[in-house]
């Protein structure tokens, strides 16, 4: 088994819901049980990845077979129990969470806990991007910023209505540079990579958790009675969304093809997913009102091999 990481950068608010909630928000987003960090369950991620390949116009028989090898045969035709897919998808976990800032418009926030979890996940993968950075020691009651930070002023950073004393740290520069180089999609300009380098803030764990709980985007939705031109009875509700410019990561694991007689390797399975690099996917609900648009990047494997050669060989 080999592993890699899929990065998802939200370009519109994203609602991966859990149905109705008991709080003031009618439709909350998915969260981890213990930490309450936002997340997206692996089933939704894998289903969307499969749909991206199945949606191709006029796929060849070889391409259809490869989709079944990577994701497992479809259960629609009763073949779902023949073999499992070779791709194992983890949950999408939070890495950077945007928070409104008095300076620099907004800050990319993270925490010691988030970075430790992320680095632990990176230790399992076989990509070219090794985590050559270390996580700074915890500085109590202070936010760590880069030495070129645009979001702090006079030794403080104001996020939402809260002010935090700051401390510049060169190790935060190294982390920001690594994130900008290895996790962000290929945007048309360098604005966003530079934004990470000048706006990354490492917050105390409890502070970050509170922002992730209470600084999400809440959107009010209504349905209008066309005759009365008023809100229909019971058709006023609120939805919680991950804000635009959130960065998530998904651990991916690949095995050899589990279909008998197939020669597709672990590297070829992940190389197939890499075809989605820098493309857009729609995740979560509210697709028809523009929600859930994310841009994709996959960590490039060491010595990755394309699946094209395997398909060509089978077609001859």
Closest CA to 17 of 221, 180, 173: 221
CATH number at residue 53: 3.30.70
**In degrees to the nearest 10, what's the CA dihedral of 127, 129, 133, 138?**
-60
Are residues 75 and 175 located together in one domain of the fold?
A: no
Residues 204-227 pLDDT 10s: 999 999 999 999 999 988 888 777
Residues 27-68 pLDDT 10s: 999 999 999 999 999 999 999 999 999 877 777 888 888 999
Are residues 125 and 79 located together in one domain of the fold?
A: no
Residue 280 placed within a domain: yes
Residue 11 placed within a domain: yes
Are residues 204 and 100 located together in one domain of the fold?
A: yes
Contacts of 181 (CB under 8 A, 6+ apart): 129, 193
- Give residue 10's pLDDT: 97
46 and 67 Cβ atoms separated by less than 8 Å: no
Residue 226 placed within a domain: no
Are residues 103 and 209 located together in one domain of the fold?
A: yes
Q: Mean pLDDT over residues 56-85, rounded?
A: 78
- Using alpha carbons, list the distances in angstroms from residue 218 to 25, 234, 237, 295: 8, 18, 10, 22
Residue 211 placed within a domain: yes
pLDDT at residue 131 above 50?
yes
Residue 47 placed within a domain: yes
Q: Mean pLDDT over residues 9-14, rounded?
A: 97
Are residues 211 and 121 located together in one domain of the fold?
A: yes
Residue 223 placed within a domain: no
- Give residue 129's pLDDT: 65
- Give residue 312's pLDDT: 40
Are residues 115 and 206 located together in one domain of the fold?
A: yes
Residues 236-273 pLDDT 10s: 889 999 999 999 999 999 998 888 778 888 888 988 89
Residues 164-218 pLDDT 10s: 999 999 999 999 999 999 999 999 899 999 999 999 999 999 999 999 999 999 9
Q: Choose the final residue of a domain: 172, 198, 215.
A: 215
pLDDT at residue 78 above 60?
no
Are residues 86 and 127 located together in one domain of the fold?
A: no
**Residue-number span of the structural domain to which 118 is assigned:** 95-215
Quickly list DSSP for the chain: -EEEEEEEEESS-B--B-S--SSS-SBPBPB-TTT--BEE-HHHHHHHHHHHHHTSSS--HHHHHHHHHHH---TTTT-TTS---SEEE--EEEEEEEEEBSSSSEEEEEEHHHHHHHHHHHTT--BS------PPPP-TTEEEE-TT-SSEETTEEEETTEEEEEEE-HHHHHHHHHHHHHTS---SSSHHHHHHHHHEEEE-HHHHHHHHHHSSEEEEEEEEETTTTEEEEEEEEEEEEBPTT-EEEEEEEE-S--STT----HHHHHHHHGGGTT-EEE-SS-GGGT--EEEEEEPPBTT---SHHHHHHHH-
pLDDT at residue 81 above 80?
no
Are residues 66 and 157 located together in one domain of the fold?
A: no
Residues 99-123 pLDDT 10s: 999 999 999 999 999 999 999 998 8
Residue 233 placed within a domain: no
Are residues 80 and 107 located together in one domain of the fold?
A: no
Are residues 275 and 297 located together in one domain of the fold?
A: yes
- Give residue 311's pLDDT: 41
Residue 33 placed within a domain: no
Closest CA to 153 of 166, 144, 169, 140: 166
The C-alpha atoms of residue 308 and residue 71 are separated, in whole angstroms, by 17
Are residues 7 and 47 located together in one domain of the fold?
A: yes
- Give residue 294's pLDDT: 97
Total domains present in the chain: 2
Q: Mean pLDDT over residues 6-28, rounded?
A: 87
Are residues 148 and 199 located together in one domain of the fold?
A: yes
Q: Choose the final residue of a domain: 168, 199, 215.
A: 215
- Give residue 224's pLDDT: 83
- Give residue 76's pLDDT: 62
């Amino acid at each position: 088994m080999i592993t890699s990481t899929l990065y998802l950068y939200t370009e519109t608010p994203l609602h991966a819901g859990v149905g109705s909630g008991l709080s003031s928000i009618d439709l909350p987003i998915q969260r981890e049980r213990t930490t309450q960090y936002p997340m997206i369950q692996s089933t939704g991620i894998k289903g969307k990845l499969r749909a991206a390949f199945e949606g191709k116009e006029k796929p060849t028989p070889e391409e259809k077979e490869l989709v079944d090898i990577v994701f497992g045969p479809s259960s629609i035709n009763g073949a779902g129990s023949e073999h499992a897919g070779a791709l194992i998808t983890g949950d999408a976990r939070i890495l950077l969470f945007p928070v409104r800032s008095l300076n620099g418009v907004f800050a990319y926030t993270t925490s010691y806990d988030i970075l430790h979890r992320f680095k632990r996940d990176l230790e399992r993968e076989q990509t070219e991007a090794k985590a050559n950075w270390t996580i700074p020691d915890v500085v109590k009651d202070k936010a760590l910023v880069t030495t070129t930070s645009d979001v702090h002023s006079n030794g403080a950073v104001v996020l939402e209505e809260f002010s935090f004393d700051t401390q510049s740290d060169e190790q935060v520069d190294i982390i920001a540079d690594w994130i900008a180089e290895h996790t962000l999609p290929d945007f048309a300009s360098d604005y966003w990579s530079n934004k990470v380098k000048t706006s990354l803030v490492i917050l105390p764990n409890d502070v970050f958790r509170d922002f992730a709980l209470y600084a999400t985007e809440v959107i009010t939705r209504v349905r209008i009675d066309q005759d009365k031109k008023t809100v229909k009875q019971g058709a006023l509700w609120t939805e919680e969304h991950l804000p635009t410019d959130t960065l998530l990561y998904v651990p991916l694991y690949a095995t050899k093809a589990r279909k008998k007689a197939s020669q597709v390797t672990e590297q070829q399975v992940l190389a197939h997913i890499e075809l989605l690099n820098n493309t857009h996917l729609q995740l979560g609900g509210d697709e028809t009102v523009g929600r859930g648009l994310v841009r994709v990047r996959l960590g490039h494997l060491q010595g990755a091999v394309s699946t094209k050669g395997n398909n060509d060989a089978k077609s001859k």
